């Protein structure tokens, strides 16, 4: 009896201590020496409202509390980084501690995306995929073998845009997805709508929603993942099941396609066929390959096409830039052929235009990390397990780095004192830097070059009224320019003939 009473007293005392600590935490704002910011329920209720765009919310908090800010609730700490200098100091120079992803119950666990590199922690699984990527597309020299194929797919895309400019966004999406599917699985997309292009688009849309910070309560209260899916409020579990089914198709359908092509002796050279054809193939290596190829397919189908679509918006809004790039193309390449990769070193303004496009449009406005161990920076404590939110969008519009950052001005990257190249920020930091940088950048460059050589891009006129589209980034973790209207016409009959000219993959 005495023992039971003692236990009850101990439980009561511990419960009281926890309640008292919680009261201190939420009412008095007690916490360790974290970076300045908001804490407790009241602080979260007073977060700035900016149309649900998390990168703008983070920007407002950094403006209020500094480039290193924090938000804390119930022992969970979020560290908000708003400057490239701090991101470099922490994410680059201390990358061992800042290379994991925060736990994602909805996306990583319930929906199954945890085996994709984007969501995987920095571990042996991640490193194995990274190594496979490096062997296939890890440098300009490895990507060079795909130049002819990229030219083929780009020309095919230009013809589609010429014939049906109203479906511009779909044509751009198909261009980049076709390129990456040829590399990852040796799959040639069919004319018109292609099922694997649409599958990637659906999967990426679901990925963006499933990984959105704070959208699902199960990411805040993980034990909710164990409740039955039929209970009221458990709609997230039914949605996760739908997401998991789409992801299964994204991984398995192209992988099984390669295996069937290999069995029939008709497989085209690809990342997957090269490894599946090995004599010493193991189950472990095949599983690694299957998910690495799916990562390549998923990633290449989203970020590059997001920037590619924004290119047409940039040219619509900035005709001066378009005309200047076209003048350079005409003087270097002429008008009797379309530009190729061989022309790239002779086109500095076009190169600067693509660089400015990467700064101006941000397909991944934020990147998230998690700390493995406690850390300290400039006197502030960063606890182990903290969620690190790096505001890439804000860094690429920082007035301390870029003059008049809201302007689209390629000239900022030319001359004797160019402004910092955005590649060190927009492609991520440290050990999680985008492994598809070289293929994505090359594909984007050629699309811009050939589109400018072939087309005049301008504002639409409807009922005698010129329509000016808005720059409007929409989405969550993966963002795109909202649909817009523009006019796309061939620059001349000769330019149209060049686009329609037959183009063979064989030299």
Give the span between the Cα atoms of 55 and 72, in whole angstroms: 18
Give the span between the Cα atoms of 95 and 99, in whole angstroms: 6
Give the span between the Cα atoms of 32 and 358, in whole angstroms: 38
**DSSP string of 275-288, one letter each residue:** HHT-TT--HHHHHH
Structural tokens at position 304: 């590059």
CB 178 within 8 A of CB 471: no
Residue 434 assigned to a binding site: yes
Q: What is the dihedral of CA 122, 124, 130, 136, to 10 degrees?
A: -170
| Residue 285 CB contacts under 8 Å (≥ 6 apart), including other chains | 275, 278
| Residue 233 CB contacts under 8 Å (≥ 6 apart), including other chains | none
Q: How many CA atoms lie within 13 A of 118 on its CB side?
A: 26
CB 404 within 8 A of CB 96: no
CB 241 within 8 A of CB 210: no
Helix%, strand%, coil% for the chain, nearest 5? 55, 10, 35
| Residue 110 CB contacts under 8 Å (≥ 6 apart), including other chains | 218, 225, 236, 237, 240, 243, 244
DSSP E strand stretches across 10-53: 37-39
Angle at 332 between CA 326 and CA 338, to 5 degrees: 70
Q: Is 68 exposed, middle or buried (0-12, 13-18, 19+ CB in 10 A)?
A: buried
Residue among 332, 347, 305 nearest 439 (CA): 305
Helix or strand run (H / E) with residue 479: strand 479-481
Per-residue DSSP letter, 503: -
Binding residues for heme, as ranges, are: 434
Annotated binding site: 434
């Amino acid at each position: 009896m005495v023992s039971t009473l003692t236990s009850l007293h101990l439980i009561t005392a511990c419960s009281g201590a926890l309640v008292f600590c919680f009261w201190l935490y939420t009412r008095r704002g007690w916490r360790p020496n974290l970076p300045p910011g908001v804490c407790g329920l009241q602080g979260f209720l007073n977060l700035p409202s900016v149309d649900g765009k998390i990168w703008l919310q983070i920007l407002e908090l950094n403006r209020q509390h500094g480039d290193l800010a924090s938000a804390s609730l119930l022992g969970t700490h979020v560290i908000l980084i708003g400057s490239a200098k701090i991101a470099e100091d922490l994410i680059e120079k201390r990358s061992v501690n800042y290379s994991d992803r925060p736990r994602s119950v909805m996306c990583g666990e319930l929906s199954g995306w945890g085996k994709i590199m984007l969501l995987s922690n920095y571990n042996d699984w991640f490193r194995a995929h990274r190594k496979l990527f490096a062997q296939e597309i890890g440098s300009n020299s490895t990507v060079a073998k795909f130049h002819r194929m990229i030219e083929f797919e780009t020309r095919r895309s230009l013809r589609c845009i010429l014939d049906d400019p109203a479906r511009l966004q779909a044509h751009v999406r198909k261009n980049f997805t076709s390129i990456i599917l040829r590399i990852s699985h040796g799959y040639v997309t069919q004319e018109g709508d292609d099922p694997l292009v649409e599958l990637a688009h659906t999967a990426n849309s679901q990925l963006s929603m499933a990984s959105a910070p704070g959208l699902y309560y199960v990411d805040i209260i993980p034990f909710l993942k164990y409740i039955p899916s039929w209970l009221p409020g458990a709609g997230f579990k039914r949605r996760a099941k739908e997401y998991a089914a789409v992801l299964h198709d994204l991984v398995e359908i192209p992988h099984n396609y390669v295996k069937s092509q290999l069995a029939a002796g008709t497989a085209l050279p690809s990342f997957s066929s090269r490894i599946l054809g090995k004599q010493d193939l193991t189950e472990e290596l095949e599983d690694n390959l299957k998910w690495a190829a799916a990562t390549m397919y998923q990633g290449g189908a989203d970020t590059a096409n997001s920037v590619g679509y924004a290119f047409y918006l940039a040219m619509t809004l900035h005709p001066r830039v378009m005309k200047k790039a076209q003048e350079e193309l005409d003087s270097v390449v002429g008008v009797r052929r379309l530009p190729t990769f061989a022309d790239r070193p002779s086109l500095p303004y076009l190169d600067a235009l693509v660089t400015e496009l990467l700064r101006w449009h941000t397909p991944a406005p934020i990147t998230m990390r998690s700390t493995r161990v406690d850390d300290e920076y400039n006197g502030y404590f960063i606890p182990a397990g903290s969620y690190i939110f790096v505001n890439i969008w804000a860094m690429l519009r920082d007035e301390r780095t870029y003059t008049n950052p809201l302007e689209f001005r390629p000239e900022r990257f030319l001359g004797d004192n160019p402004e910092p190249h955005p590649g060190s920020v927009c492609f991520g930091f440290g050990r999680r830097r985008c492994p598809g940088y070289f293929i994505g950048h090359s594909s984007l460059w050629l699309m811009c070059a050939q589109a400018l050589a072939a087309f005049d891009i301008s504002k639409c006129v409807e009922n005698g009224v010129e329509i000016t589209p808005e720059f409007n980034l929409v989405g969550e973790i993966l963002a795109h320019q909202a649909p817009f209207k523009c006019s796309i016409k061939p620059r001349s009959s000769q330019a149209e003939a060049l686009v329609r000219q037959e183009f063979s993959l064989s030299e």
